Amino acid sequence: MTALLKNSFKDMDRVRSFVTEEEFKRLEAGIFAGKYIVVPSFVDVHVHFREPGFFYKESILTGSTAAAHAGYSHVMPMPNLNPVPDSKEHLKEELDIIERDAVINVIPYGSITVGEKGKELADLEGMAPDVCAFSDDGVGLNDPELMKEAMRRAKALGKLVVAHCEDLELRAGGYIHDGKYARLNGHKGICSESEWKPIERDLKLAEETGAGYHVCHISTKESVQVIREAKARGVNVTCETAPHYLVLNDMCLREDGRYKMNPPIRSEEDRLALIEGLKDGTIDCIATDHAPHSAEEKSRGLKDSAMGIVGLETAFPVIYSCLVMEGIIGLDKVVELMSVNPRKRFGLEPADETKDFAVWELEEEYAIDPEKFLTKGRATPFDDWKVQGRCVLNVVNDKVVWKDEIL
């Protein structure tokens, strides 16, 4: 714990400048007692803030405020918006809102294809200066020649291609994992091959082009293995997974839309393979795929609810409580996965140099209550879970963006 604090935050005097003297003394005592930790603020490379186009689900203001509450300094919203940021002009609509409303650093993606339709490459060159990377997240890009050309152009621009890997033909209308729960309850399943086969294809293209390639929200044991093998061959690939894939399996599902997301929660065997991928470095980042929807859109059960759950405000508490406290991974590893690695891969200021920091209280247990979220979304499978880990202070760009009343 002391080593983590020393490496993550070198100047305790910076804490003093953002709190009262009484608060500082309490924090200082708590830090040495192991009650509090100070870490570089987190980076989420995969969120959905829904604006422009779907303000009723989330906005840049509510999404970035939720991220501030959750200890993040940077978030990267995906381009499934209206209009899709597929040109400099369309991107400007999103950038203007970010400039006006964001309370932390919000760096958008540009789409790979026009309208995310998978038919024609977007204006990658025009958007490159203002985006973190290129992605058609929400849909898979199933044309290998178009993907290869996107990789070539992205490489020339010094940008990553970030892929939602899904073969819709193999998905075949499924909406939860093709596993035991689906069979027992008469649901249409999504096979694992619909995820790992497109990854396998793209890895060959990345190897051929030399492009930087990042895989979104992996959920299957086969995905872990093909990425592990590609890394061993020297392919320029990284990947992410999300907390719900690390702590839940398909037998945890309920007939409720808050358990529905894409890709789906998969088998226990898949979950354990993801854990091993964290441990051996195959998986580089923990992202949230924070994807808010309206209450009505999530009230239609597993079959008919919209796909997506909120995740920013539960990410660290769930990971800390279920993985760190259980001795599965260490706290240093969590900081690596949630701050160090995403900063490195997406070209941000390194974690050991950033002035952004968050203070977390680790000892007090509480129940996750979606009604206390700052996001507009409420759908989470972690409703009423007993967890530990509460962000009490988050400082970004030399400003306090979140301070908890318990501090």
Q: What is the CATH number of the domain that holds 175?
A: 3.20.20.140
Contacts 24+ apart (CB under 8 A), 402-405: 402/68, 402/69, 402/71, 404/361
Of 30-34, 114-118, 261-265, minimum mean pLDDT range: 30-34
Any idea what DSSP says for residue 116? Answer: G
Does residue 7 or residue 13 have the better pLDDT? Answer: 13
Q: What is the pLDDT of residue 396?
A: 98
H/E stretch holding 131: none
Residue 1 pLDDT > 70: no
Q: What is the pLDDT of residue 221?
A: 98
Closest CA to 276 of 240, 209, 347, 328: 328
pTM of the model: 0.97
Q: What is the pLDDT of residue 3?
A: 55
Confidence of residue 407 (pLDDT cuts 50, 70, 90): confident
Domain carrying residue 99: 2-403
Q: Distance of alpha carbon 196 from its chain centroid, rounded?
A: 19
Per-chain mean pLDDT for the chain:
95
Residue 162 pLDDT > 90: yes
Q: What is the pLDDT of residue 7?
A: 46
Confidence of residue 353 (pLDDT cuts 50, 70, 90): very high
The answer for residues whose C-beta is within 8 angstroms of residue 186's C-beta and 6 or more apart is none
- Dihedral pair phi/psi, residue 391, rounded to 5°: -75, 120
Residue 10 pLDDT > 80: no
Residue 2 pLDDT > 50: no
Q: Any idea which residues carry the catalytic annotation?
A: 289
Q: What is the pLDDT of residue 80?
A: 97
The answer for residues whose C-beta is within 8 angstroms of residue 83's C-beta and 6 or more apart is 52, 53, 90, 93
Tokens of 16: 């003093």
Residue 406 pLDDT > 90: no
As a whole number, mean pLDDT of residues 342-364 equals 96
With 0-12 / 13-18 / 19 or more C-beta atoms within 10 angstroms meaning exposed / middle / buried, residue 403 is middle
Which residues partner with 44 through β-bridges?
75
Residue 274 pLDDT > 70: yes
H/E stretch holding 302: helix 301-304
Q: What is the pLDDT of residue 6?
A: 54
Provide the terminal-to-terminal Cα distance of the chain, rounded to the nearest Å. 20
Q: How many structural domains are present in the chain?
A: 1
Confidence of residue 33 (pLDDT cuts 50, 70, 90): confident
Tokens of 371: 């009604």
- Dihedral pair phi/psi, residue 196, rounded to 5°: -75, -25
As a whole number, mean pLDDT of residues 341-363 equals 96
What percentage of the chain reaches a pLDDT higher than 70? 97
As a whole number, mean pLDDT of residues 350-377 equals 96
Q: What is the pLDDT of residue 187?
A: 98
Tokens of 275: 């854990």
CA distances 88 to 107, 165, 227, 330, Å, are 14, 25, 33, 42
Q: What is the pLDDT of residue 31?
A: 84
pLDDT in tens, 173-231: 999 999 999 999 999 999 999 999 999 999 999 999 999 999 999 999 999 999 999 99
Q: Which residues of 88-109 are buried (b: 16+ CB within 10 A; e: fewer)?
A: bebbebbbebbeebbbbbbbbb
With 0-12 / 13-18 / 19 or more C-beta atoms within 10 angstroms meaning exposed / middle / buried, residue 173 is exposed
154 touches 175 (CB < 8 A): no
Residue 402 pLDDT > 50: yes
Residue 49 pLDDT > 50: yes
